[in-house]
Amino acid sequence: MSDIDTFVKQPAEWLRASGPESDVVVSSRLRLARNLKGYPFLSKLNAEQREEIVGRMGEIVPKGRIFERTYYFRYSGLTDLDRQFLLERHLVSREHAAAKEEKAVAITSNEVVSIMILEEDHLRLQSFQSGFNLMEAWRIANQIDSEIEKNIEFSFSEELGYFTACPTNVGTGLRASCMLHLPSLVLTKQVHKVLQALAKLNLAARGLYGEGTQATGNFFQFSNQMTLGQSEEEIIENLASVIRQVIEHEREARNYLREKRKPKFEDQIWRALGILKSARVIPSSEATQLLSLVQLGILMELLDSGLTKTDLNALFLLIQPAHLQKIMEKTLNAAERDICRADLIREHLAKISL
Protein backbone atom coordinates (compact mmCIF):
# COMPACT_ATOMS: atom_id res chain seq x y z
CA MET A 1 0.00 0.00 0.00
CA SER A 2 1.35 3.44 -0.95
CA ASP A 3 1.36 6.42 1.41
CA ILE A 4 -1.47 8.01 -0.58
CA ASP A 5 -3.65 4.97 0.09
CA THR A 6 -3.53 5.74 3.82
CA PHE A 7 -5.90 8.65 3.11
CA VAL A 8 -8.56 6.40 1.58
CA LYS A 9 -9.90 5.11 4.89
CA GLN A 10 -10.17 8.47 6.64
CA PRO A 11 -12.62 11.32 5.97
CA ALA A 12 -11.05 14.46 4.54
CA GLU A 13 -10.85 17.27 7.07
CA TRP A 14 -13.11 19.53 5.04
CA LEU A 15 -15.85 16.86 5.12
CA ARG A 16 -15.94 16.14 8.86
CA ALA A 17 -19.04 18.35 9.43
CA SER A 18 -17.61 19.35 12.81
CA GLY A 19 -17.26 23.10 12.27
CA PRO A 20 -19.69 26.01 12.75
CA GLU A 21 -22.73 26.26 10.44
CA SER A 22 -21.79 22.93 8.88
CA ASP A 23 -25.37 22.30 7.78
CA VAL A 24 -24.73 24.89 5.05
CA VAL A 25 -20.98 25.57 4.96
CA VAL A 26 -19.10 22.39 4.19
CA SER A 27 -15.60 23.84 4.50
CA SER A 28 -13.43 26.92 4.73
CA ARG A 29 -10.12 27.24 2.91
CA LEU A 30 -7.29 29.78 2.97
CA ARG A 31 -4.75 29.74 0.17
CA LEU A 32 -1.55 31.79 -0.03
CA ALA A 33 0.36 32.27 -3.29
CA ARG A 34 4.11 32.62 -2.84
CA ASN A 35 7.14 32.73 -5.13
CA LEU A 36 10.76 32.16 -4.18
CA LYS A 37 13.18 35.05 -4.47
CA GLY A 38 15.85 34.56 -7.11
CA TYR A 39 13.74 32.42 -9.43
CA PRO A 40 11.59 33.50 -12.41
CA PHE A 41 7.87 32.76 -12.44
CA LEU A 42 6.78 29.23 -13.28
CA SER A 43 6.38 29.78 -17.02
CA LYS A 44 10.06 30.82 -17.28
CA LEU A 45 11.58 28.12 -15.06
CA ASN A 46 13.93 25.66 -16.73
CA ALA A 47 14.15 21.98 -15.77
CA GLU A 48 17.10 22.54 -13.44
CA GLN A 49 15.32 25.33 -11.56
CA ARG A 50 12.18 23.22 -11.24
CA GLU A 51 14.20 20.43 -9.69
CA GLU A 52 15.90 22.88 -7.32
CA ILE A 53 12.57 24.18 -6.00
CA VAL A 54 11.04 20.72 -5.64
CA GLY A 55 14.19 19.52 -3.90
CA ARG A 56 14.48 22.52 -1.58
CA MET A 57 10.88 22.25 -0.46
CA GLY A 58 11.38 18.55 0.14
CA GLU A 59 14.14 19.47 2.58
CA ILE A 60 12.36 22.41 4.22
CA VAL A 61 8.95 20.89 4.93
CA PRO A 62 10.16 18.06 7.21
CA LYS A 63 12.18 20.56 9.29
CA GLY A 64 9.17 22.66 10.30
CA ARG A 65 7.72 21.87 13.71
CA ILE A 66 4.17 22.26 12.39
CA PHE A 67 4.85 19.77 9.61
CA GLU A 68 5.15 16.71 11.80
CA ARG A 69 3.64 13.65 10.11
CA THR A 70 3.67 15.27 6.68
CA TYR A 71 3.80 13.40 3.39
CA TYR A 72 5.84 14.84 0.52
CA PHE A 73 4.88 13.46 -2.88
CA ARG A 74 6.91 14.08 -6.02
CA TYR A 75 4.74 13.76 -9.10
CA SER A 76 7.28 11.52 -10.81
CA GLY A 77 6.37 8.93 -8.17
CA LEU A 78 2.59 9.24 -8.57
CA THR A 79 0.24 7.49 -10.96
CA ASP A 80 -2.51 9.33 -12.85
CA LEU A 81 -4.98 7.69 -10.45
CA ASP A 82 -3.06 9.04 -7.45
CA ARG A 83 -3.25 12.56 -8.86
CA GLN A 84 -6.97 12.26 -9.55
CA PHE A 85 -7.46 10.99 -6.00
CA LEU A 86 -5.66 14.05 -4.56
CA LEU A 87 -7.76 16.31 -6.78
CA GLU A 88 -10.99 14.74 -5.56
CA ARG A 89 -9.87 15.44 -1.99
CA HIS A 90 -9.15 19.09 -2.93
CA LEU A 91 -5.50 18.70 -1.94
CA VAL A 92 -4.31 19.75 -5.40
CA SER A 93 -5.86 21.79 -8.20
CA ARG A 94 -6.96 20.49 -11.60
CA GLU A 95 -4.02 22.24 -13.27
CA HIS A 96 -1.55 20.80 -10.80
CA ALA A 97 -2.94 17.28 -11.16
CA ALA A 98 -2.76 17.43 -14.96
CA ALA A 99 0.83 18.69 -15.17
CA LYS A 100 3.40 16.77 -17.19
CA GLU A 101 6.48 18.37 -15.66
CA GLU A 102 7.88 17.48 -12.24
CA LYS A 103 5.92 18.98 -9.37
CA ALA A 104 5.23 18.02 -5.78
CA VAL A 105 2.72 18.34 -2.97
CA ALA A 106 3.14 18.27 0.81
CA ILE A 107 0.16 17.10 2.85
CA THR A 108 -0.21 16.82 6.61
CA SER A 109 -1.57 13.48 7.81
CA ASN A 110 -4.85 15.08 8.97
CA GLU A 111 -5.23 16.87 5.59
CA VAL A 112 -5.59 20.26 7.27
CA VAL A 113 -2.60 21.56 5.29
CA SER A 114 -1.67 21.07 1.65
CA ILE A 115 1.23 22.80 -0.12
CA MET A 116 1.33 22.59 -3.89
CA ILE A 117 4.82 23.08 -5.27
CA LEU A 118 4.98 24.57 -8.77
CA GLU A 119 1.32 25.22 -9.39
CA GLU A 120 0.64 28.64 -10.99
CA ASP A 121 3.10 30.06 -8.45
CA HIS A 122 6.10 28.35 -6.90
CA LEU A 123 4.07 27.60 -3.77
CA ARG A 124 0.36 27.43 -3.04
CA LEU A 125 -0.17 27.01 0.71
CA GLN A 126 -3.62 25.75 1.64
CA SER A 127 -5.30 25.38 5.01
CA PHE A 128 -8.67 23.64 5.41
CA GLN A 129 -11.25 23.72 8.17
CA SER A 130 -14.62 22.06 8.49
CA GLY A 131 -17.63 24.37 8.44
CA PHE A 132 -17.59 28.18 8.58
CA ASN A 133 -14.20 28.77 10.16
CA LEU A 134 -12.22 31.16 8.00
CA MET A 135 -10.27 32.77 10.83
CA GLU A 136 -8.92 29.46 12.11
CA ALA A 137 -7.96 28.50 8.56
CA TRP A 138 -6.17 31.85 8.29
CA ARG A 139 -4.35 31.34 11.60
CA ILE A 140 -2.99 27.99 10.40
CA ALA A 141 -2.07 29.31 6.93
CA ASN A 142 -0.25 32.26 8.49
CA GLN A 143 1.66 29.93 10.77
CA ILE A 144 2.70 27.77 7.83
CA ASP A 145 3.77 30.84 5.86
CA SER A 146 5.96 32.07 8.73
CA GLU A 147 7.47 28.63 9.28
CA ILE A 148 8.52 28.27 5.64
CA GLU A 149 9.85 31.83 5.47
CA LYS A 150 12.35 30.97 8.21
CA ASN A 151 14.11 28.78 5.68
CA ILE A 152 13.52 30.51 2.36
CA GLU A 153 12.95 34.07 1.12
CA PHE A 154 9.84 35.02 -0.85
CA SER A 155 9.58 37.58 -3.67
CA PHE A 156 8.19 40.61 -1.87
CA SER A 157 7.91 44.38 -2.25
CA GLU A 158 7.22 46.79 0.60
CA GLU A 159 5.05 48.78 -1.79
CA LEU A 160 3.15 46.02 -3.61
CA GLY A 161 3.37 43.05 -1.29
CA TYR A 162 3.98 39.49 -2.52
CA PHE A 163 4.72 39.08 -6.23
CA THR A 164 2.57 36.48 -7.95
CA ALA A 165 2.25 35.04 -11.45
CA CYS A 166 -1.31 36.37 -11.82
CA PRO A 167 -1.76 40.13 -11.18
CA THR A 168 -5.04 39.55 -9.31
CA ASN A 169 -3.10 37.77 -6.56
CA VAL A 170 -0.46 40.46 -6.04
CA GLY A 171 -0.45 41.94 -2.54
CA THR A 172 -1.41 39.52 0.18
CA GLY A 173 -1.53 36.60 -2.25
CA LEU A 174 -4.49 35.40 -0.22
CA ARG A 175 -7.55 33.63 -1.57
CA ALA A 176 -10.23 32.86 1.01
CA SER A 177 -13.06 30.54 0.06
CA CYS A 178 -15.99 28.65 1.50
CA MET A 179 -17.74 25.65 0.00
CA LEU A 180 -21.49 25.81 0.56
CA HIS A 181 -24.23 23.25 0.01
CA LEU A 182 -27.25 25.21 -1.27
CA PRO A 183 -29.92 22.74 -2.43
CA SER A 184 -32.85 24.82 -1.15
CA LEU A 185 -31.76 27.92 -3.05
CA VAL A 186 -31.43 25.77 -6.17
CA LEU A 187 -34.84 24.13 -5.68
CA THR A 188 -36.55 27.51 -5.17
CA LYS A 189 -34.64 28.95 -8.17
CA GLN A 190 -33.13 31.72 -6.07
CA VAL A 191 -29.51 30.72 -6.43
CA HIS A 192 -29.00 32.78 -9.63
CA LYS A 193 -29.91 35.96 -7.73
CA VAL A 194 -27.31 35.08 -5.13
CA LEU A 195 -24.65 34.45 -7.78
CA GLN A 196 -25.44 37.74 -9.52
CA ALA A 197 -25.14 39.63 -6.23
CA LEU A 198 -21.78 37.99 -5.53
CA ALA A 199 -20.43 39.06 -8.92
CA LYS A 200 -21.30 42.69 -8.12
CA LEU A 201 -19.30 42.38 -4.90
CA ASN A 202 -16.21 41.11 -6.78
CA LEU A 203 -16.58 37.63 -5.34
CA ALA A 204 -16.14 34.53 -7.49
CA ALA A 205 -18.56 31.61 -7.54
CA ARG A 206 -17.24 28.27 -8.77
CA GLY A 207 -18.12 24.61 -8.77
CA LEU A 208 -17.07 21.72 -6.58
CA TYR A 209 -13.50 21.62 -7.91
CA GLY A 210 -12.82 25.31 -8.21
CA GLU A 211 -12.02 27.49 -11.18
CA GLY A 212 -13.53 26.37 -14.47
CA THR A 213 -15.89 23.82 -12.93
CA GLN A 214 -19.68 23.83 -12.71
CA ALA A 215 -21.72 23.41 -9.57
CA THR A 216 -22.34 19.72 -8.93
CA GLY A 217 -24.65 18.35 -6.28
CA ASN A 218 -25.64 21.93 -5.37
CA PHE A 219 -22.14 22.66 -4.05
CA PHE A 220 -20.72 26.13 -4.68
CA GLN A 221 -17.35 27.68 -3.81
CA PHE A 222 -17.32 31.40 -3.05
CA SER A 223 -14.06 33.33 -2.84
CA ASN A 224 -12.48 36.77 -3.12
CA GLN A 225 -11.09 37.79 -6.52
CA MET A 226 -8.67 40.61 -5.66
CA THR A 227 -5.90 40.70 -3.07
CA LEU A 228 -4.15 44.03 -3.70
CA GLY A 229 -5.02 47.00 -1.50
CA GLN A 230 -6.66 45.00 1.30
CA SER A 231 -5.27 43.41 4.42
CA GLU A 232 -5.74 39.70 5.06
CA GLU A 233 -8.26 40.45 7.80
CA GLU A 234 -10.29 42.73 5.50
CA ILE A 235 -10.42 40.11 2.75
CA ILE A 236 -11.57 37.42 5.18
CA GLU A 237 -14.18 39.59 6.89
CA ASN A 238 -15.61 40.82 3.58
CA LEU A 239 -16.11 37.24 2.43
CA ALA A 240 -17.41 36.14 5.83
CA SER A 241 -20.06 38.85 5.91
CA VAL A 242 -21.40 37.70 2.53
CA ILE A 243 -21.30 34.03 3.54
CA ARG A 244 -23.41 34.83 6.61
CA GLN A 245 -26.08 36.31 4.35
CA VAL A 246 -26.02 33.31 2.01
CA ILE A 247 -26.43 30.98 5.00
CA GLU A 248 -29.48 32.95 6.07
CA HIS A 249 -30.98 32.82 2.56
CA GLU A 250 -30.47 29.04 2.35
CA ARG A 251 -32.19 28.52 5.69
CA GLU A 252 -35.06 30.78 4.67
CA ALA A 253 -35.44 28.74 1.48
CA ARG A 254 -35.60 25.55 3.56
CA ASN A 255 -38.40 27.01 5.64
CA TYR A 256 -40.26 28.01 2.49
CA LEU A 257 -40.00 24.48 1.10
CA ARG A 258 -41.25 23.03 4.37
CA GLU A 259 -44.16 25.45 4.76
CA LYS A 260 -45.27 26.22 1.19
CA ARG A 261 -44.17 23.27 -0.94
CA LYS A 262 -44.03 20.38 1.51
CA PRO A 263 -45.85 17.66 -0.52
CA LYS A 264 -43.84 18.23 -3.69
CA PHE A 265 -40.62 18.77 -1.75
CA GLU A 266 -41.03 15.58 0.27
CA ASP A 267 -41.78 13.70 -2.93
CA GLN A 268 -38.48 14.88 -4.42
CA ILE A 269 -36.59 13.76 -1.31
CA TRP A 270 -38.19 10.31 -1.18
CA ARG A 271 -37.84 9.75 -4.93
CA ALA A 272 -34.14 10.56 -4.65
CA LEU A 273 -33.76 8.10 -1.78
CA GLY A 274 -35.72 5.44 -3.66
CA ILE A 275 -33.48 5.68 -6.71
CA LEU A 276 -30.28 5.57 -4.64
CA LYS A 277 -31.43 2.56 -2.65
CA SER A 278 -32.58 0.70 -5.75
CA ALA A 279 -30.19 1.63 -8.56
CA ARG A 280 -27.75 -0.99 -9.83
CA VAL A 281 -25.99 1.41 -12.19
CA ILE A 282 -25.55 5.13 -11.54
CA PRO A 283 -23.15 7.80 -12.88
CA SER A 284 -21.31 10.19 -10.59
CA SER A 285 -23.26 13.32 -11.58
CA GLU A 286 -26.66 11.76 -10.95
CA ALA A 287 -25.56 10.17 -7.68
CA THR A 288 -24.16 13.45 -6.38
CA GLN A 289 -27.34 15.33 -7.24
CA LEU A 290 -29.60 12.74 -5.59
CA LEU A 291 -27.39 12.51 -2.50
CA SER A 292 -27.68 16.28 -2.16
CA LEU A 293 -31.47 15.92 -1.87
CA VAL A 294 -31.21 13.04 0.60
CA GLN A 295 -28.80 15.03 2.76
CA LEU A 296 -31.20 17.96 2.74
CA GLY A 297 -34.02 15.64 3.80
CA ILE A 298 -31.96 14.38 6.72
CA LEU A 299 -30.90 17.89 7.77
CA MET A 300 -34.56 18.94 7.79
CA GLU A 301 -35.51 15.78 9.71
CA LEU A 302 -37.75 14.51 6.93
CA LEU A 303 -35.71 11.30 6.88
CA ASP A 304 -34.59 9.32 9.92
CA SER A 305 -31.32 7.91 8.72
CA GLY A 306 -29.12 6.97 11.64
CA LEU A 307 -26.28 8.44 9.58
CA THR A 308 -24.11 11.31 10.75
CA LYS A 309 -23.34 14.37 8.64
CA THR A 310 -19.77 13.09 8.46
CA ASP A 311 -21.01 9.78 7.00
CA LEU A 312 -23.03 11.58 4.36
CA ASN A 313 -20.31 14.06 3.48
CA ALA A 314 -17.80 11.22 3.15
CA LEU A 315 -20.13 9.41 0.74
CA PHE A 316 -19.98 12.35 -1.69
CA LEU A 317 -16.23 11.74 -1.85
CA LEU A 318 -16.21 7.94 -1.88
CA ILE A 319 -18.36 7.76 -5.03
CA GLN A 320 -15.90 9.80 -7.09
CA PRO A 321 -13.99 7.89 -9.80
CA ALA A 322 -10.52 7.73 -8.22
CA HIS A 323 -11.88 6.94 -4.76
CA LEU A 324 -13.95 4.06 -6.10
CA GLN A 325 -10.90 2.57 -7.78
CA LYS A 326 -8.81 3.00 -4.65
CA ILE A 327 -11.51 1.27 -2.59
CA MET A 328 -11.82 -1.59 -5.08
CA GLU A 329 -8.02 -1.73 -5.44
CA LYS A 330 -8.18 -2.05 -9.21
CA THR A 331 -8.63 -0.02 -12.37
CA LEU A 332 -12.27 0.38 -13.41
CA ASN A 333 -13.71 1.72 -16.63
CA ALA A 334 -16.68 4.11 -16.56
CA ALA A 335 -19.31 1.36 -16.81
CA GLU A 336 -17.69 -0.65 -14.02
CA ARG A 337 -17.48 2.43 -11.82
CA ASP A 338 -21.19 3.12 -12.29
CA ILE A 339 -21.96 -0.38 -11.01
CA CYS A 340 -19.58 -0.17 -8.05
CA ARG A 341 -20.92 3.28 -7.18
CA ALA A 342 -24.49 1.98 -7.02
CA ASP A 343 -23.38 -0.93 -4.81
CA LEU A 344 -21.49 1.39 -2.45
CA ILE A 345 -24.41 3.80 -2.11
CA ARG A 346 -26.91 1.02 -1.38
CA GLU A 347 -24.59 -0.31 1.29
CA HIS A 348 -24.19 3.09 2.98
CA LEU A 349 -27.88 3.96 2.82
CA ALA A 350 -29.08 0.59 4.11
CA LYS A 351 -29.92 2.16 7.49
CA ILE A 352 -32.59 4.39 5.95
CA SER A 353 -35.97 2.70 5.58
CA LEU A 354 -38.23 3.47 2.64
Answer whether 62's CB lies under 8 Å from 70's CB.
Answer: yes
> Is the pLDDT assigned to residue 241 strictly greater than 90?
yes
Distance from C-alpha of 18 to C-alpha of 21, rounded to nearest angstrom: 9
Q: Which of 15-24, 126-135, 324-333, 345-354 has the lowest mean pLDDT?
A: 345-354
CA–CA separation, 84 vs 187, rounded Å?
Answer: 31
Residues in the chain: 354
Tens of pLDDT along 317-339? Answer: 899 999 999 999 999 999 999 99
CB-CB contact of 287 with 219 (8 Å): no
Q: How far apart are CA 221 and CA 219, in angstroms?
A: 7
| 4-254: CATH class | alpha beta
Mean pLDDT score of the chain: 89
Pairing of strands 174-181, 161-162: unpaired
Better pLDDT: 353 or 340? 340
Please, is 177 exposed, middle or buried when counting C-beta atoms within 10 Å of its C-beta (0-12, 13-18, 19+)?
buried
Is the predicted pLDDT of residue 82 greater than 90, yes or no? yes
As a whole number of angstroms, the distance between CA 293 and CA 337 comes to: 22
Predicted pLDDT of residue 209: 56
Confidence tier at 65 by pLDDT (50, 70, 90): low
Does residue 296 register a pLDDT over 90?
A: yes
Per the model's pLDDT, the better-predicted residue between 47 and 15 turns out to be: 47
Q: In the chain, which residues fall in CATH 3.30.590.10? A: 4-254
Q: Which residues contact 347 (CB under 8 A, 6 or more apart)?
A: none
Question: For the chain, where are the E strands, in sequence order?
Answer: 25-34, 70-74, 104-108, 113-117, 123-130, 156-157, 161-162, 174-181, 203-206, 219-224
State the DSSP string of 226-242.
--TTS-HHHHHHHHHHH
Residue 16 Cα distances to 135, 234, 276, angstroms: 18, 27, 22
Pick from 18-32, 203-217, 244-258: least confident? 203-217
* pLDDT at residue 100 tops 90: no
Taking the alpha carbons at both ends of the chain, their separation in whole angstroms is 38
How many whole angstroms separate alpha carbon 4 and alpha carbon 322? 12
